[in-house]
Structure 1
């Protein structure tokens, strides 16, 4: 029989939707330019030529701040905003947080800070009688459920099976577009050092009293030496739903708990063909342990030791926050650890393989704990069709508005047309982002961790930028809690894209 070989699959065509405008200006920037021209003409007629030139100079500087962008595609106005917010927080001492019995809070608990201060944790049971945790934002009406996964890994797996996993994951993401009320989804992969208590408990549980002395000695040596340098990889998928129905009515907490309990079995079963491995809902106690160890990595050893001794941890949502934290411009100190968070500003250019993020997801010896979170905003089919059509009109307008369009504008037009064709054939449309958090317990190791993440981002062909001035918010966003960032922005994302 003849050998049949196929070329490896590649993936790409990621792009940012363009806003209709002149040159590098978006819709609002173009409107501002036209209004500036009108103001200049009126000023000349009323106050003279000198005053008109002064208005033109000031307005031109403002528009120049919207046009000039750095390698992260951020304008000068977008870079000034975080600095102003950081200065205000520094003057109002908003960068400092103290909790617990001697903290400034009146209730004496270790409440979560920042964006998580108003959250509540609910535990219920789904249709399969499995307990699952629900993180609730009462003000926004958001309810997030967390699914624990055990990815199979691509080692010793045929390429055909890997392609099937990618196709299964794509189908599962597309199906989320038909879920009523879904406002966000995220995938979190965390690499942590293994404490060794789990291995020791497993060996002690399976060792019999009449085992040979040589075997017991060998297993004891394995328990003592294997955890050194070993890493543990955990993964979670978080889905966030809104209590606002399509008719405009807001569902109460009891109705949302009942509805999520009926949906969860189908959502976990759909992950079977995506390579996520055994997918099950995360309980409230497990989620409390995840958040507690994220803020205080030292607590991970105590929790694993208690589990190895057969004891159960009894953490409450009001006690999993840090005892103290301090936010700096480029780093974040919380309890006995230091963290730095990055956000992806440019997705991989061109075509990539399915292993493009493998260097970033793998454990690294210079980083004690590393958390990589991919944020998804799955669009429903009706909205996706309108977006791709508007994107085609915007890209065509930019190409036709100049006599010599650049190669990048022409490539954007071709990519927009290809995206529209794929959407018309039934493919889903997803907005996505990526947040990376590196945590160390020794502040002297922080520069090495920062350099390591920068190298890993380059190897994964993505451009990462530290979240300057908002390190605490970025740290929370990377946790598997289902935060929808655009719901917490002071300036709506639609206005940002139209500038």
Structure 2
């Protein structure tokens, strides 16, 4: 008698945020400040009790903002710094943008606002002879190539095939850690209403004069009914490389980086074949300019599609930006649209299934245009080993501080140990984040869009918060432009982690 094999759904998890090495959940900088302050207070008692009391009060004033955290893990000091930065931005007029013939961008151009204002767009050919665009950010010396994918989707696909896709996607992400000069990657899934232009063009191009009346009537009915309520889903992967100077060599030029990226793209696009990404091809300069133009002004989406069918739009990078944009504390207005961007503050906890983000990325009728972007920053093999080992040591240190909450601390130690073992077996270590951008056509629809995202996030097992005070930067980071946000801040990453 043949035995039956039972298939159990595969689960995923162990997403870890490295623990701090400070005392009682404090950061390293706050812990060092506390110890130094306590030593100063003890020494001050030898001089005067009043001097010691004043120092103790001052120590409390400095330490409390570093210790008090909200439910998203942000300290009072961080929130105060954001408020101060926003005040400086509004005082200098940095939250306003005007371009075009009457704007301030110069020469009547519609350049991108904010962090991407100085970006450059060039085009080259990869190893297969395919044209691809290179987005250059001079401030950081980064060069980005964008890959367009036609994702297959999981509808009517068995679980074994989905597990295979996820396994190959994890392997593809793991190889990014050994990709030469690659510093970041992003996956953007955008849903928008389908204008029906492509369907109309397809029917018109294939219609014949002697078609049966019933067939013509059926096609007319499809043409009038199908676009209503349907959605267009696009998936783009951005790969960002660093052109920083190497030992004994100057910073590499755009031409050098285009040659370097062009030799890597064939292998990277071929590796996506088994991940469910479908056909993966590099995007040209015109395609990227069109995508960015539509993101900043969704009202031109149908015009762009019509122009593509008649020979192309001919859009350049100087025409991809908005005519006007205005940022407020919690939203972003660009041309005729309004947007809010949220950032993930907590990854899915516990074990999850492969479809945990399905509801978040699929079309929603309450949000006209939705963009979900996963941001990746891979560690090299050496960096990954150092990070997981330090995280394991910090977890052990925190578990030994107190007997309260011992079960949770033991679970943290076990998870950190498991991560260390997986890294030693050759698995990659990668930092990731998530941005959600909801774009609507009027300010009245923002409330409904915000409520929809607030409902979708818990279903995806993540915690999100609006990117208050940085809506313009977050909007640009959610686009496939290759912006690495931690490198555009005033304080270095190491200083922020210490605080």
Shorter-chain TM-score bucket reads: over 0.9
SS in 1 for 2:25: coil
Q: Which residue of 2 aligns with 1:337?
A: 337
Q: Which residue of 1 aligns with 2:110?
A: 110
Q: Is the 8 A contact 2:68 2:75 kept in 1?
A: yes
In the superposition, the TM-score normalised over structure 2's length comes to 0.97
Residues 419 and 245 (structure 1), Cα distance of their counterparts in 2 relative to 1, 3 Å cut:
farther
C-alpha distance in 1, partners of 2:79/2:406?
A: 26
Q: What are the residue-to-residue correspondences of 1:241-390 with 2, within 5 Å? A: 241-244=241-244, 247=247, 249=249, 250-308=251-309, 310-390=310-390
Q: Is the 8 A contact 1:144 1:481 kept in 2?
A: yes
Q: CA deviation at 1:288?
A: 0.4
Q: Which residue of 1 aligns with 2:59?
A: 59
Q: Which residue of 2 aligns with 1:240?
A: 240
Q: What are the residue-to-residue correspondences of 1:185-224 with 2, within 5 Å? A: 185-224=185-224
Residues 160 and 135 (structure 1), Cα distance of their counterparts in 2 relative to 1, 3 Å cut:
same
C-alpha distance in 1, partners of 2:51/2:93?
A: 42
Q: Is the 8 A contact 1:115 1:476 kept in 2?
A: yes
Gaps of 5+ in 2: none
Q: Is the 8 A contact 2:119 2:136 kept in 1?
A: yes
Q: Is the 8 A contact 2:487 2:493 kept in 1?
A: no
Which segment is superposed worse, 395-404 or 153-162? 395-404
Number of equivalent positions:
497
Q: Is the 8 A contact 1:99 1:109 kept in 2?
A: yes
C-alpha distance in 2, partners of 1:248/1:300?
A: 48
Which segment is superposed worse, 248-257 or 211-220? 248-257
C-alpha distance in 2, partners of 1:186/1:306?
A: 28
Residues 19 and 248 (structure 1), Cα distance of their counterparts in 2 relative to 1, 3 Å cut:
farther
SS in 2 for 1:397: helix
Q: Is the 8 A contact 2:110 2:319 kept in 1?
A: yes
C-alpha distance in 1, partners of 2:482/2:297?
A: 20
C-alpha distance in 1, partners of 2:365/2:221?
A: 23
Matched, 1:498 2:489: no
Which segment is superposed worse, 237-246 or 328-337? 237-246
C-alpha distance in 2, partners of 1:198/1:478?
A: 26
SS in 2 for 1:228: coil
Q: Is the 8 A contact 2:341 2:438 kept in 1?
A: yes
Q: Is the 8 A contact 2:120 2:135 kept in 1?
A: yes
Q: Is the 8 A contact 1:392 1:413 kept in 2?
A: yes
1:276-332 C-alpha deviation (Å, 9 max, x unpaired): 100000011000010000000001011112234x23101110111111111000000
Q: What are the residue-to-residue correspondences of 1:414-429 with 2, within 5 Å? A: 414-429=414-429
Which segment is superposed worse, 99-108 or 344-353? 99-108
Q: CA deviation at 1:61?
A: 2.7
Q: Which residue of 2 aligns with 1:83?
A: 83
Q: CA RMSD in A?
A: 1.3
Q: Which residue of 2 aligns with 1:447?
A: 447
C-alpha distance in 1, partners of 2:410/2:71?
A: 20
C-alpha distance in 2, partners of 1:45/1:296?
A: 68
1:105-129 C-alpha deviation (Å, 9 max, x unpaired): 3321111110000100011111111
Q: Is the 8 A contact 1:181 1:245 kept in 2?
A: no
Q: What are the residue-to-residue correspondences of 1:27-106 with 2, within 5 Å? A: 27-46=28-47, 48-106=48-106
Residues 95 and 311 (structure 1), Cα distance of their counterparts in 2 relative to 1, 3 Å cut:
same
Q: CA deviation at 1:248?
A: 6.1
Runs of 4 or more, structure 1, over 4 Å off, are none
C-alpha distance in 2, partners of 1:344/1:105?
A: 33
Q: CA deviation at 1:262?
A: 0.9
C-alpha distance in 2, partners of 1:335/1:306?
A: 20
Residues 492 and 411 (structure 1), Cα distance of their counterparts in 2 relative to 1, 3 Å cut:
farther
